[in-house]
Structures are given as structure tokens and as C-alpha cells.
Amino acid sequence: MHDFLFYSMTHQNQHQETAQKLISAYQGPEPLAAYLKKYFAANKKHGSKDRKSISAFCYAHFRTLNANFPLQEAISKEIDIPTFVHSHTIQPLLFIRIRPWQKEKVVAALLAASIEYTQVHEYCFAFSNTTALQNVLALNKEAVIQDLNSQALAELLQFVPTSMETPIQVWDACAASGGKTILMFDTMQNIRMHVSDVRESILFNADKRLQEAGIRPASVQVIDLTEPFDIKKPFDFVFADLPCSGSGTWGRTPEQIAFFKKENLDSYTALQAKIIANILPTVKLNGHLLLATCSVYAAENEAHVQAILSQGQFELVEQKYFIGYTQQADTLFGAILKRRSV
């Protein structure tokens, strides 16, 4: 028994030493997960338990820096800053959204695999962050891995009028992995979906994911939204999940706490302003625009909404922060606007 404890403590000390060396060498330009993946790929001596332990030490280090959360003075007044900052000491949960008519099948599969979960609401289940579901569920077909508050954006989709008689033209302008595209298909009735992103490889993966979900968009295009572009007709609804600091998700990537600077925030807000300026003309009269970010910084959220409203062509329907820091989830911002003049 004593030999086993000595062996375990020795390994733990070795893992901690390795983690400290990795942390010292880490400079922050790439995600910590990618940095660790490269290290482990080059150092095959580490088994799966070693990798898990070393990674845990690395992430725990950055979580201890939570009190130094950057630019706290720039965080929206809608955020309870002390509670938000403290939440970064705890790893967020893994969430799934069960797709329509799939709940019985999903529950049966989880029970058969003896996987523990918490039902957050009827179609949202939460799991420990390390839970592996890819061999248990038909992901994208039966359920989508999607944060609690990414799912909650569906609240704002309810403001977009649809008709069973005529499909509305919908553009997911910053589709990324396609999770919110699937959300729109599952939430809105009779839509004709157009999907775009600036990254061809990301868009390829998103299209593959949509196929797994049984969704065939009307078009899939690579578009750089920072540059002017032409469209054939304006859209009834445009959804722009803007590139952002991701500050509402740093519970998952706590290394950002150590490396994010004011110039990074300025760069994101300038990028967002360009994108917004180019997509505003694509919304038809009486059409709707939904802007979303996973940021808590007001400059990435309310400030852009106010800038749009000051032009006089749009009215605000609803804006809100979807609070995740009390639920081991991400915090998101969403604002839906309606074009009232051209």
C-alpha cells in the first residue's frame, strides 16, 4: 500500500514538474489545448492518464489567475463582475441539446451506457466536462453538443415571424461549426437557409455536420464579411454570430486571462464594426437582424447596438445577456433588431 502511494505521489510530482515547464514555455498565441496536443504528439512517453493529469495541472494554474481577469472596467454593467470572475475557478459543464423527437432515444442510449447527466430543461442535458458521448449518441442527428446559452439564443429567434405558406430567406453569416444553424432549423418553421463563413476548412466541416443533421442549406459560400460584397436579394433574417474576444467562454479557456490585452479588444471591436457595416444592407425592410457574441465586454455588444440604432434605420426588439456564470456555462450576448426604413 505504501509503495503504491509512493508511486502515485512520484508520478504526480513528475506531472506537476512537466506542467510547470509547459506553462513557462507557453506564450499564448495558440489555444492551450492545441499547445498541449502538439507537446503530447511529440512526446509519446505520456500515456492517457499522464496526459490528463498534466493537462489538469496546466488548466488549474490559469484558473488561479481568475482575480486578474483583464479589463474588468470594460465589462458590461449587466454582469455581476465578482461572481463572474470567481466562476473561472470552476470548469464549465458539457451540455447537449436534444433535437426534435429524439429525446426517448437519447435517454435510452445514456442509460444503457450508464452515463450520468442532469436534465437542465426538457431538451437540455448537462454532463461533466470530460464525458465522451461520440460513441453513445448519434451526434448532430439525435443531439447537438451546444452550450446552455447557445441554446438559449432560441428565445430571440421567436421574434422572427415565419409562415407555413412562404419560406423566409435566412442567412447564417458567420456559421463557424454550424451548431446555431442546426438550432435555427430546429426552432424556426419553413426557412430557406444560406450559410457562409470566411474560413473554407471550417465551412467544409460545418457542411458535413449539417449533412449529419439531415439539413441541406440552399447555399454554402465562403465570404469575407470585412470586405464589401454583392447579394442578389436582401434577406428576411440575418444571424451574425460575430467573431469576438470569447470572454464569456474563458471558463473553458482560462489561459486567455493571462494573455488578453486592450489592443486585442480594440482589434475585435474594429473587426466587428466592419462586418456589421457590410451586413446591415442585406436585411430587407421589416426584416430582422440578430447579433450575438460570447463576450461580456460592452464594446463588443451594447456599443455596436447603439451605433446601429443611431443610424435610424433599425429599431431594437430585444437585447440581453444570457448569464452562464452561475450555471457552469458560457455567458452570451444577443440583440435582435428590425429594419424599419431603407
Is 177's pLDDT higher than 70?
yes
Nearest to 157 by CA among 184, 189, 123, 186: 184
Q: Which three cell numbers stand for residue 302?
A: 451594447
Provide the percentage of residues in the chain whose pLDDT is more than 70. Answer: 97
Nearest to 280 by CA among 342, 331, 328, 326: 342
Phi, psi for residue 169 in degrees, rounded to 5: -90, 120
Q: In the chain, how many H helices and how many E strands?
A: 12, 11
DSSP state of 89: G
DSSP state of 189: S
pLDDT per residue as tens digits for the range 263-298 = 999 999 999 999 999 999 999 999 999 999 999 999
Question: What's the confidence (pLDDT) of residue 264?
Answer: 97
The chain-wide mean pLDDT, for the chain, equals 94
Could you give the CA distance from residue 271 to residue 288 in angstroms, rounded to a whole number?
Answer: 22
Is 10's pLDDT higher than 90?
no
Could you give the CA distance from residue 79 to residue 322 in angstroms, rounded to a whole number?
Answer: 10
In sign, the C-alpha dihedral spanning 253, 335, 303, 223 is: positive
Nearest to 294 by CA among 29, 58, 79, 60: 79
Domain ranges of the chain: 2-63, 94-146, 149-339
Question: What's the confidence (pLDDT) of residue 337?
Answer: 98
Is 2's pLDDT higher than 70?
no
CATH number of 94-146: 3.30.70
| Alpha helix (H) residue ranges in the chain | 2-25, 32-42, 48-63, 81-86, 103-112, 148-152, 154-157, 179-187, 200-212, 256-259, 262-279, 302-310
Query: Whats the size of the chain, residue-wise?
Result: 342
Question: What's the confidence (pLDDT) of residue 9?
Answer: 57
Interhelix angle 179-187/200-212, rounded to 10 degrees, is: 40
Sorting pLDDT into bands at 50, 70 and 90, what band is 4?
Answer: very low
Residue 291: C-alpha distances to residues 84, 155, 206, 238, 333 (Å): 22, 13, 20, 9, 8
Nearest to 78 by CA among 329, 336, 338, 325: 325
Question: What's the confidence (pLDDT) of residue 13?
Answer: 85
Could you give the CA distance from residue 259 to residue 278 in angstroms, rounded to a whole number?
Answer: 30
DSSP 33-51: HHHHHHHHHH-TT--HHHH
CATH code 3.40.50.150 for 149-339: yes
Residue 239: C-alpha distances to residues 205, 279, 337 (Å): 19, 10, 11
pLDDT per residue as tens digits for the range 308-339 = 999 999 999 999 999 999 999 999 999 999 99
Nearest to 317 by CA among 296, 341, 288: 288
Q: Are 214 and 185 in contact (CB under 8 A)?
A: no
Task: Give the three-state DSSP class for 58.
Answer: helix
Nearest to 192 by CA among 147, 233, 154: 233
Is 5's pLDDT higher than 80?
no
Question: What's the confidence (pLDDT) of residue 6?
Answer: 44
